[in-house]
């Protein structure tokens, strides 16, 4: 149940799902911190804040199962229990994070959420082991009024409607009618007083002779009237009626503020001494001792909410703005061509200078606008990196290893769409490093290594690319084992395998279905993995390199563009088509003679300053292109650098450098894997953007000639 109409309820749920991801991440981080430092009070406070917020937010969205489970979890996060069972709390917290994640996924897909049996078992075990529990139960055998978060929200909503809310405790007599009949009589009396918002017990099945019935009733009557009405003769022995106290609550989150704003118009009619804001005694996440006994009238309304500097905006809206900026860039290109044509036709016209000044001003403002929109899309890679310590911890525990995670470069910015696309590939590399890469303790000891393995994540800018490195100090890649598996699977022939260099052997790992794992486990060994990583990077127009020392560790280096929105590109013609490559990939432009081109092992190569490079002719890679008849002995070669590889692209003519707005092409329009996208020039000409990663992959399929760099 929610208190909003459908459209607002949908927006509220989307906001809840977004914020819950951050809440669960905070729980994971705090759980790992408690595992290292069981007495870390700040980590414990972080967990309690997270659980409390999740409890309230899920109740506001109508997700009762999650709210009540979070409420039960709060019962075991008391300082006394944590102190007594510090070693067990981290496992409870991490299990809770997993359980809540599964429940949220079910809610998002409109499915029945899981019961969370593992978490409930942890909670019950800790509560059973709580010292002094029987004595405490005896003390609190009386009135509790321990309402769930869902019921407290109902009470708060009644306050906002201007109703009074009373909590009623009725002790049944030990003689007279049967408990079941007494329960029905009392329930009927409560119904006549107003709207029953909460009732304990909910049915008469658990009620005993002389038992206690607790209720929360929204009513316009006085407490004296309710007391007289519910004093059923021969049934009720004692009765106590009191107003629900208003307690200063913990700091409110966005969902609380949304609820208040929805009811603001109605709440304005409520008496000033009974404001609608947080009208119930909520056990705040940090209320260990300070707030538990303070009962006073809250004087903070919505007008006192501090303004927030963060604005949540749907990513599609930013994409729309970015597309419009892209159209403006195309328009700028059109204007530049028109002004250039005007200059040629009217070289002495006084308007030339004014046109140039106006165009320069427009270009400067447009560049600033583009940079500003790009910055909005940029997020630090820390958002991605912070997920991985939990993955490493789970694998290490499963494999009985000791692994530490080092993180550097977490403030490096990257386009959010690229960051999201990298989540799964990086998670796979991390799991591989923890499972395959890092050795068991005895194996590390035999190799003279520290018992603690290390996995390092790093990110940094390199030109207009971002480089992300995943390194480990484990066993490294066994070159001979990789070759044996490749030959067994028929990926390479025995004769060709001898001629493969280190880099080419490493790239065999990205072949679909390839795996060196000796055993199939729940983590790895199924042959689904690094090929998926490679495919994801190809989609992002990125590339991957592998460096490994057998017995010393492995480094996977992922290189992706800063953004997929626009690029500075070099334009050239090949076989009548206009192509572009990112300027950042261009090492240099050379001019060679056809006589400088030699054929070695079915590869065309040329020598440039003592370095032998492979020459790529695009018209030979694409079957639908017809090579332009050679009219000149000399040709232009664009030398491309992709990581450690160097190769040259033969072009018919060079057009120059221009900023291009990348337009993604639908699959049915792409006739070649060598093309990753397209753009439009100011005169309407379509430019095909060359996929450098796909060219490198094509070259890697066949061994390069001896001495060539690609």
Q: Is 273 exposed, middle or buried (0-12, 13-18, 19+ CB in 10 A)?
A: exposed
Task: Clarify whether residues 557 and 599 are in a common domain.
Answer: no
Residues contacting residue 492 through CB under 8 Å, at least 6 positions apart: 483, 486, 500, 508
Does 1 fall in a domain?
Answer: no
- Beta-bridge mates of residue 586: 640
53 shares its domain with 124: yes
Q: How confident is residue 468, by pLDDT bands cut at 50, 70 and 90?
A: very high
- Residues 77-120 have pLDDT tens digits of 877 777 777 788 888 888 888 999 999 888 888 888 888 888 88
Residue 636 scores a pLDDT above 50: yes
Q: Are residues 547 and 399 in the same domain?
A: yes
Supply the DSSP string of 261-285, one letter for each residue: HHTHHHHTTS-TTS-STT-S----T
Assess whether 104 and 160 both reside in one domain.
no
Cα–Cα distance, 99 to 693 (Å, whole number): 40
CATH number of the domain at 167, please.
3.30.70.1110
Determine, yes or no, domain membership for 135: yes
Instruction: Look at the chain and report how many structural domains it folds into.
Output: 5
Indicate the SS3 state at residue 534.
Answer: helix
Looking at the structure, do residues 294 and 319 belong to the same domain, yes or no? no
Whether residue 616 contacts residue 696, with contact meaning beta carbons closer than 8 Å, is answered with: no
* Co-location of 389 and 468 in the same domain: yes
For residue 307, is it within any domain? no
Please enumerate in sequence order all residues whose Cβ is within 8 A of that of 614, keeping only pairs 6 or more positions apart, or say none.
Answer: 603, 604, 605, 647, 648, 699, 704, 705, 708, 709, 710
Q: Give dist(CA 351, CA 31) in Å, integer.
A: 69
Residue 310 resides in a domain: no
Same domain assignment for residues 415 and 351: no
Domain that holds residue 538: 381-561
Residue where one domain finishes, among candidates 117, 139, 161: 139
Question: What is the DSSP track for 362-416?
Answer: HHHHHHHHHHHHHHHHEEETHHHHTTHHHHHHHHHHHHT--EEEEE--TT-EEEH
Structure tokens at 656: 């120059």
Q: What is the mean pLDDT of residues 586-605?
A: 86
The domain that holds 600 is classified in CATH as 2.40.50.180
| Res. 248 pLDDT band, cuts 50 70 90 | very low
- Assess contact for 157 and 3: CB atoms under 8 A: yes
Has residue 619 been placed in a domain? yes
Alpha-carbon gap, residue 21 to 377, rounded angstroms: 19
Average pLDDT of the segment spanning 434-463: 88
Q: Where is the domain boundary, 332, 349, 377?
A: 377
* Strands of the 465-472 sheet, one edge to the other: 403-407, 453-462, 465-472, 553-561, 543-549
Q: Answer whether residue 137 shows pLDDT above 60.
A: no
Asked if the structure places residue 685 within a domain, the reply is: yes
Distance CA 55, CA 65 (A): 10
The verdict on 461 and 596 lying in the same domain is: no
Residues 169-223 have pLDDT tens digits of 888 877 666 777 888 888 888 988 888 888 888 877 777 667 788 899 988 888 8
Average pLDDT (233-255) is 66
Are 390 and 436 within one domain? yes
Q: How far is it, in rounded angstroms, from Cα 330 to Cα 680? A: 7
The confidence band for 246, taking pLDDT boundaries of 50, 70 and 90, is: low
Nearest-angstrom CA–CA distance, 206 and 467? 63
Same domain, residue pair 132 and 52: yes
Is residue 403, in this structure, part of any structural domain at all? yes
CA separation, residue 541 to residues 390, 465, 696, 697 (Å): 29, 11, 11, 12
pTM of the entire structure? 0.62
pLDDT at residue 664, rounded to an integer: 61
pLDDT tens, 310-333? Answer: 677 777 888 788 888 878 887 888
175 and 265 in a common domain: yes
pLDDT band at 454 (very low <50, low <70, confident <90, very high): very high
Q: How confident is the model at residue 140 (pLDDT cuts 50, 70, 90)?
A: very low
Are 443 and 540 part of one and the same domain?
Answer: yes
Structure-token match 């309710």, residue found: 226
């Amino acid at each position: 149940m929610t208190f909003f109409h459908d459209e607002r309820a949908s927006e509220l749920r989307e906001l809840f799902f977004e914020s819950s991801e951050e809440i669960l991440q905070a729980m994971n981080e705090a759980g790992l911190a408690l595992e290292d430092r069981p007495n870390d009070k700040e980590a414990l406070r972080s967990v309690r804040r997270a659980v409390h917020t999740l409890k309230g937010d899920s109740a506001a969205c109508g997700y009762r199962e999650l709210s009540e489970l979070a409420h039960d979890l709060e019962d075991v996060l008391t300082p006394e229990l944590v102190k007594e069972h510090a070693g067990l709390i981290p496992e409870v917290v991490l299990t809770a994070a997993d359980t809540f994640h599964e429940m949220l996924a079910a809610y998002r897909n409109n499915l029945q959420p899981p019961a969370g049996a593992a978490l409930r078992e942890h909670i019950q075990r800790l509560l059973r082991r709580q010292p002094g529990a029987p004595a405490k139960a005896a003390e609190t055998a009386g009135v509790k009024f321990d309402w769930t978060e869902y019921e407290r929200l109902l009470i708060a909503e009644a306050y906002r409607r201007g109703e009074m809310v009373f909590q009623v405790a009725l002790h049944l007599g030990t003689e007279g009618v049967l408990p079941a009949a007494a329960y029905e009589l009392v329930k009927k009396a409560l119904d006549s007083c107003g709207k029953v918002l909460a009732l304990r017990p909910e049915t008469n099945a658990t009620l005993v002779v002389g038992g206690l019935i607790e209720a929360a009733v929204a009513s316009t009557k006085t407490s004296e009237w309710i007391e007289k009405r519910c004093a059923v003769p021969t049934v009720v022995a004692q009765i106590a009626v009191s107003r629900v106290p208003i307690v200063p609550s913990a700091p409110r989150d966005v969902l609380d503020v949304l609820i208040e704003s929805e009811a603001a118009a109605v709440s304005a009619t409520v008496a000033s001494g009974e404001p609608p804001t947080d009208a119930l005694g909520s056990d705040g996440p940090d209320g260990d001792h300070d707030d538990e006994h303070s009962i006073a009238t809250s004087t903070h309304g919505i007008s006192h909410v501090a303004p927030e500097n963060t604005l949540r905006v749907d990513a599609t809206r930013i994409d729309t703005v970015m597309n419009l900026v892209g159209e403006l860039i195309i328009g700028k290109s059109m204007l530049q061509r028109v002004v250039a044509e005007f200059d040629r036709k009217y070289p002495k016209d006084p308007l030339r200078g004014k046109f140039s000044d106006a165009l320069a001003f427009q270009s400067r403002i447009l560049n600033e606008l583009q940079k500003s929109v790009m910055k909005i899309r940029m997020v630090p890679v820390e958002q991605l990196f912070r997920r991985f310590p939990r993955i490493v911890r789970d694998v290490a525990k499963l494999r009985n290893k000791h692994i530490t995670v080092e993180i550097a470069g977490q403030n490096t910015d990257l386009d959010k769409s690229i960051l999201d696309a990298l989540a799964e590939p990086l998670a796979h590399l991390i799991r591989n490093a923890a499972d395959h890469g890092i050795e068991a303790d005895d194996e590390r000891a035999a190799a003279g290594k520290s018992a603690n393995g290390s996995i390092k994540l790093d990110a940094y800018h390199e030109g207009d690319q971002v480089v992300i490195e995943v390194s480990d100090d484990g066993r490294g890649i066994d070159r001979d084992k990789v070759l044996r598996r490749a030959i067994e699977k028929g990926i390479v022939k025995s004769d060709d395998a001898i001629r493969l260099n280190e880099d080419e052997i490493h790239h065999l790992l990205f072949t679909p279905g390839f795996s060196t794992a000796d055993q199939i486990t729940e983590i790895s060994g199924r042959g689904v993995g690094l090929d998926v990583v490679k495919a994801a990077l190809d989609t992002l127009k990125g590339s991957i390199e592998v460096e490994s020392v057998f017995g010393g560790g492995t480094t996977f280096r992922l290189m992706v563009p800063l953004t997929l929105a626009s690029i500075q590109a070099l334009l050239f013609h090949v076989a009548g088509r206009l192509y572009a490559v990112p300027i950042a990939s261009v090492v240099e432009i050379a001019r060679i003679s056809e006589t400088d081109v030699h054929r070695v092992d079915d590869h065309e190569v040329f020598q440039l300053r003592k370095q032998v490079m492979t020459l790529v002719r695009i018209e030979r890679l694409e079957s639908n292109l017809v090579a332009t008849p050679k009219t000149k002995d000399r040709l232009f070669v664009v030398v491309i650098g992709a990581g450690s590889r160097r190769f040259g692209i033969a072009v018919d003519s060079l057009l120059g450098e221009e900023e291009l707005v990348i337009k993604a092409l639908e699959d049915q329009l792409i006739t070649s894997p060598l093309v990753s996208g397209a753009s439009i020039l100011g005169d309407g000409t379509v430019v095909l953007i060359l996929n450098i990663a796909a060219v490198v992959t094509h070259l890697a399929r066949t061994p390069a000639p001896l001495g060539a760099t690609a």
